[in-house]
Homo-oligomer: A and B are copies of this chain.
């Protein structure tokens, strides 16, 4: 046992490395495959960038579209999550913990259920159309609510919000109260306190929240499939086709790792932005 003996941390390292390998190795395997080729429906070892070249060539429109959507979702959700987490942390007092529990439960209240909730609300026979019909505003059900990018944004935002709340709340929880008071005492307005003291201290939490939303939204294929309609051709759907219908795991891997690569680039840029805007002066 003897916890908290700092100098012995490395003893646990080999053990954890094994754990991580078992856990990460499958993904690494896929990364290797992405440089292979498929011949006669069999994977052949290779070290070619052809799959990546083809991804960028054939799917650039879809990639751009995917990241427009994913970026929008990530920005909206991170903002909403910050506001919610801020209120829970600094305003809700002892109601904070139960509220967070609700968030945690809702976190996986069911992926599928959430998708169909929005499908039903936005659909032809859904809540909005029924309401509009009863009020006599429209004669026929309006159809443009569903099967478009906006529906995807709403659905995925609803799904990823709890994911984004948790890391931001975690960061906010480790911010102490008293320095906020000190800032007020030194003449800062409420807004300045948030800007000067709170935000710079939870930059990492905000970036994690943003990253989670972005990665999840960019990689998802179920929501566009069920709710996005024919013109919402996000890359997730295409990756799934590649693995499933075409059975080309090499190409599919290359596409998946292209998405991951772009995610990392976007995260890096947004991270730089966050760290510059909320820098300490």
Contacts and interface: CB of A to CB of B under 8 A. Distances in A.
Given A91-B11, A193-B1, A27 B113 contact: yes
Contacts of A220: 111-112
A20 B221 contact: no
B13 A117 contact: no
A182 to B, nearest CB: 11
A2 interface: yes
Contacts of A30: 113, 116-117, 120
Interface in A58-107: 84, 87-88, 90-96, 99, 102, 104-107
Copies in the complex: 2
A243 to B, nearest CB: 5
B125 A16 contact: no
Contacts of A42: 125
A281 interface: no
A242 to B, nearest CB: 9
A219 B112 CA distance: 7
A220 B143 CA distance: 28
Given A24-B106, A92-B9, A112-B219, A87 B15 contact: yes
Given A12-B93, A109-B260, A29 B117 contact: yes
For chain A, give the interface size range.
35 or more
A236 B112 contact: yes
A94 B20 contact: no
Given A2-B181, A42-B125, A118-B26, A9 B108 contact: no
B180 A249 contact: no
B9 A91 contact: yes
A249 B111 contact: no
Contacts of A94: 6, 9
Interface stretch (A47-55, A145-153, A208-216): A208-216
A206 interface: no
Nearest to A20: B102
B215 A108 contact: yes
A177 interface: yes
